[in-house]
Amino acid sequence: MASRMRRLSRRIVTIPRSPHRVLVALVEELRRKGVDVYNYTAGQPGLPPSEKALRYFFEKFMEDPFGHSRYVATQGLWELREEISRDLEKYSGVRVDPRNIVITSGGAEGLLLALGTVVEPGDEVLVFDPCYSLYWGLLRYLGAKIVTCRQDIERGFQPDPECIKEKVSDRTAAILLTSPDNPTSRIVSREVVETIIDVAVKHKVWVVYDEAYKHIVYEGEHVWLLRYPELQDLLIGVNSFSKDLAIPGFRLGYLYGPSDFIEQAVKMKGFLSITSPVPAQFLALYYLREGFKEEYLRYALEVYRRRRDAAYNAFRKYLPEAHVLKPTASMYLFPDMRPYLERLGVDDVQFTYDLAKEVGVAMLPGSAFGEGGKGYLRVTFVTQPEDRLVRGIELLAEYIERRARR
Ligand SMILES: Cc1ncc(COP(=O)(O)O)c(C=O)c1O
């Protein structure tokens, strides 16, 4: 009797494994072997969370452990949503009703809820290539047809407005925009924002706006799409507490958007995760309510800025042929390494594997973020002190020189 084979869903099996995961595993393996790895791969904050916030939280937690670890409403703790509403108003000048906010398990779940709520299989979604690596897998999983506009270093990583006008049509369900960006760190320009608004309004397209790095800004300021009333019914903000509160492991973020969207997103969250980690919701509440957030950010941004300068200057000094922009926000340098990689005859993925194995310097290949990232490296500048940041970049340059002579 022919027996049926057990099987895994093609929807997930056909999605390729990201080189990001391969490198993270490689770094772990090297560390286990005792190698002192210069690690530039992580999207981690560079400093531990506010000690004051943690102490306050643990005291409150111990006063009422059950109150801090019970189930709360799927949409999230009301007091936290009120605090987020105040926080958004303080920075953007625009009030978002707490009823239009959903607490999520990180920005990652926020993206799933946002895109899962507005995209049907076969719908087009516009992304800007290169983009945050998670988008590719998630959109494929949802059966979206991914449409892209490039963001090239020659344009300061701003997408071409003409491309946006060309690619958005009545077939488009959503435009997925990130600012400040990962991996390019650019803050979106006014020209691009205005183009996105025009086409979104014209074709009734959702703008899913990933603001994970909204507070990690060194020069200039975050672009608040909330300020554009034309987008009121089309804007979904995806936010994270991983970077600005430095609590990525607590898994917390939030969404805001119009009421009909929120209702469906909450329904989806109900069967996905019931509610987001409740102790984390209280920690975020205290962080915001007691003013620990501002204090922490002032301190962290000063340190990050110095680290950015050190890493940027090291690239200019040791790798003068790499085209690199000085980031005004976010946590990453994204140098164009093609002059070197072409000379070595190696692609960025293989190069990063070799670099990690041979010299213990781990950086992410640009192609992990899309075709547009080919030949680039993503270099996190916030997670190491200046001397180590600079030394690792020097080691990268020495490795390239040695390899060229082989
Ligand atoms: C652009 C962007 N969005 C969302 C996230 C997800 O963050 P989390 O799920 O930790 O909130 C990240 C994390 O690196 C990111 O870079």
Read off the tokens for 103: 């607490």
The pLDDT-based confidence of 2 (bands split at 50, 70, 90) is low
Fold that domain 17-46+294-400 belongs to in CATH: Aspartate Aminotransferase, domain 1 (3.90.1150)
Average pLDDT score over residue span 125-154: 97
Residue 1 has pLDDT above 70, yes or no: no
How many other C-beta atoms can be found within 10 angstroms of the C-beta atom of residue 231? 20
**Is CATH 3.40.640.10 correct for 70-290?**
yes
pTM, full prediction = 0.96
Ligand 1, residue 240: give the atom nearest the CA. Answer: 11
Query: What is the residue with the minimal CA distance to atom 4 of ligand 1?
Result: 107
How many angstroms is it from 342 CA to the middle of ligand 1?
A: 31
**Average pLDDT of span 238-255:** 97
User: Whole-angstrom Cα distance, residue 186 to residue 164?
Assistant: 17
Compute the distance from residue 216 Cα to the ligand 1 centre, in Å.
13
Q: Residue 292: pLDDT above 80?
A: yes
147 beta partners:
126
Q: Following DSSP, what letter does each residue of 14-71 receive, concatenated?
A: TSPPPHHHHHHHHHHHHHHTT---EE------SSPPPHHHHHHHHHHHHHSHHHHHS-
From 35, 50, 98, 16, select the one nearest 355 (Cα to Cα). Answer: 35
If you take atom 5 of ligand 1, which residue's CA is the nearest one? 107
CA of 185 to the centre of ligand 1 (A): 13
Q: Which regions of the chain carry the CATH code 3.40.640.10?
A: 70-290
Q: What does the pLDDT read at residue 17?
A: 85
Report the nearest-CA residue for atom 3 of ligand 1: 212
Q: What is the CA radius of gyration of the chain?
A: 22
Please, where in the chain does CATH 3.90.1150.10 lie? 17-46+294-400
Please report, for residues 155, 167, 249, 305, 341, the alpha-carbon distance to residue 309 in angstroms, rounded to integers and kept in the order given: 21, 37, 27, 6, 24
Handedness of CA 278, 279, 280, 285 (dihedral sign): positive
Q: List the residue whose alpha carbon is closest to atom 7 of ligand 1.
A: 107
Tell me how far the alpha carbon of residue 56 lies from the centroid of ligand 1, in angstroms. Answer: 26
pLDDT at 28: 93
Encode pLDDT of 76-97 as tens digits. 999 999 999 999 999 999 999 9
Task: Write out residues with Cβ below 6 Å of ligand 1.
Answer: 43, 106-108, 132, 178, 182, 210, 212, 240, 242, 248, 253
Give nearest CA residue, ligand 1 atom 2. Answer: 212
Select from 245, 208, 267 the least CA-distant residue to 106: 245
pLDDT of 270 reads: 97
**pLDDT score, position 406:** 84
351 CA → ligand 1 middle, Å:
25
For a mutational test of ligand 1's pocket, the pick from 209, 211, 240, 243, i.e. the residue with the most ligand atoms closer than 8 A to its C-beta, is 240
Residues 6+ apart with CB under 8 A from 180: 186, 187, 213, 214, 216, 217, 222, 328, 329, 330
Pick the atom of ligand 1 nearest to 107's CA: 11
pLDDT in tens, 155-197: 999 999 999 999 999 999 999 999 999 999 999 999 999 999 9
